[in-house]
Amino acid sequence: MSISLEMLGLDVSKACSVKEAKKIIEKSGIHTFECVLTDFRMPEESGLDLLEWVQLTDPALSTIIITAEGEKDLVQRSLRGGALDFLEKPINRKALQEAISNAIETTRKKRATANITQGVKEAGQYDQIFKAIRAREVEHLLKYFFHPLSDVGGDFINVLKIAEKKFLILAGDVSGHDIRAAFVSAYFQGLARGLLKKSASIEEIVSYFNTILNREWANSADQDLPSTFPLSASLCILASTVDFEANTLQILNCGFPEPFFIDKNGLIQPFKVGYPPLGWIEGESYKEASVDIHPLAYLLAATDGLIELANNLQLNFMSLSYYLLNHSSEKANSILKVSTDDVLIFKFQLAPELTKTERYFPLVYEVIPGNEFQIIDFYQEKWEKSLKLIFEDRLGAKLDDILHGAREAALLSLTLSCEKLQTKLCSLQMVYCEALNNITVYVRDPDAQITDQAKRAERIEAKRKAIASLMEFSTCSIEEAYASIKMEFQLDLLHQNT
């Protein structure tokens, strides 16, 4: 048989036993072999023993087992053990040639894949170096959670010092989940750091990189770059420059999901101004928006992987954010199993002086069109699931009180203030303060925009009468400034947080 193989132009090593075969392979190095062809029946040890050793030493190396005709049990055991193929005696020369050729090709492909995988892991380690370079002065103000879909990806979060008491929070999401996404991510972070040292503005940095993506990398086929490594990509970027001395924040959003400002009462203020992702439109001009951070407590943002995960789990994305920011990846693993994208969330504290009793965080943020009053059960079920994710069963009967109050207040807003119209929106927020151990529910609607004082007073009075029945469940009141409903629930958790 060895003569037949040599006639095919193959370099053949021969052994009469498993022990001898191991010695030959170890002496030459297992990576010098591309196929192992072994008889099942040999002295002392069998071909399955050699197969097991090969699988442990180099799983990419293909093994073919030779059996006697009709030994179906041995064939099945060989395939279960990792054998690529089997041949029955007497061996047909053409079948042998095809089996060997297939085995060699399979070995080469597996080894190439293994090399790429190792390269991806190493790229991920380099990518982590960029992610780890943060301004230590404000490190305690940043809380984030990152779960990559694979060994390396394009999501990143970084905080860079620009000047004394002035910092840049840079978050990004590159299209794709492979080594190219990691390359684009690392390249942009390195470019940003270098240009910032040259006193470039964030608008200039973003504009320059957009040009690179549109003009240079998009046409990489015309350059001396391998066709198997196209650099065409897009980058969603959120750049927030915080100046603690001036109490201002300059923000630029290019394709990133809308960020949220959380005020000192834990209420959300969405930031809806933005531009398309970098790499979409060549020649786009960018301008930062200015925000007064004096009344604000936090900046919260997440990649679209979080929104998608929350929808898949039928959870409110704010509850999922709180859960992931306050739990380790190990505890969150059961939830993350259904993730189909990288998940990145970060919360940056804009008011460094906040005490524990001033730290409020939204657990539920829902914006509901007036015509969806008919599916209030759907929203209630989602709120229940979201609160149980955070508190498990520790809310006890208080959970029913919160859900009943939120449901009735939302229904009142949707039917009375929104008039059951799709164009009118009601927002419901559940805010949690761990130190004070309470949850506050806010329901706001278009009544806040009523300028006619008589009509406004009439609407407030109607709400005040409608919420009277909720008084036994919570401290319920009307916020005059917003003509909105506010309910406070004091919690008596059944056991402490773990």
pTM attached to this predicted model:
0.74
Choose among 380, 407, 374: nearest CA to 485. Answer: 407
Give the residue extent of every domain in the chain: 2-116, 133-354, 361-490
From first to last of its 498 residues, the chain has per-residue pLDDT tens of 667 777 778 889 999 999 999 999 999 999 999 999 998 888 888 888 898 899 999 999 999 988 876 666 666 666 666 777 888 888 888 888 889 999 999 999 888 777 766 665 655 555 555 455 568 889 889 999 988 887 667 788 999 999 999 999 999 999 877 777 878 888 898 899 899 989 999 999 999 999 998 887 766 544 454 444 455 689 999 999 999 999 999 999 999 999 999 999 999 998 988 999 999 999 999 999 999 998 899 999 999 999 999 999 999 999 999 999 998 767 788 889 889 888 999 999 999 888 887 889 999 999 999 999 999 999 999 999 999 999 999 999 999 999 999 999 999 999 999 999 999 999 999 999 999 999 999 999 999 899 999 999 999 998 988 888 877 777 888 888 888 999 999 998 765 543
Letter string b/e over residues 64-103, b meaning 16 or more CB atoms within 10 A of that residue's CB: bbbbeeebeebbebbeebbbbbbbeeeeeeeebeebbeeb
- Contact residues for 426 (Cβ-Cβ < 8 A; gap 6+): 367, 368, 370, 410, 413, 414, 417, 418, 443, 444, 445
Name the CATH topology of 133-354: Phosphatase 2c; domain 1 (3.60.40)
User: Matching CATH topology for 133-354 and 361-490?
Assistant: no
Instruction: Please state, in angstroms and rounded to a whole number, the distance separating the CA atoms of residues 70 and 64.
Output: 17
Name the CATH topology of 361-490: Heat Shock Protein 90 (3.30.565)
Angle between helices 18-28 and 47-57 (to 10 degrees): 20
Instruction: Please state, in angstroms and rounded to a whole number, the distance separating the CA atoms of residues 118 and 124.
Output: 10
Instruction: Please state, in angstroms and rounded to a whole number, the distance separating the CA atoms of residues 292 and 299.
Output: 12
Task: Give the class (CATH, top level) of 2-116.
Answer: alpha beta
**Reading across the β-sheet that carries 248-254, which strands appear in turn?**
156-163, 166-174, 235-243, 248-254, 289-292
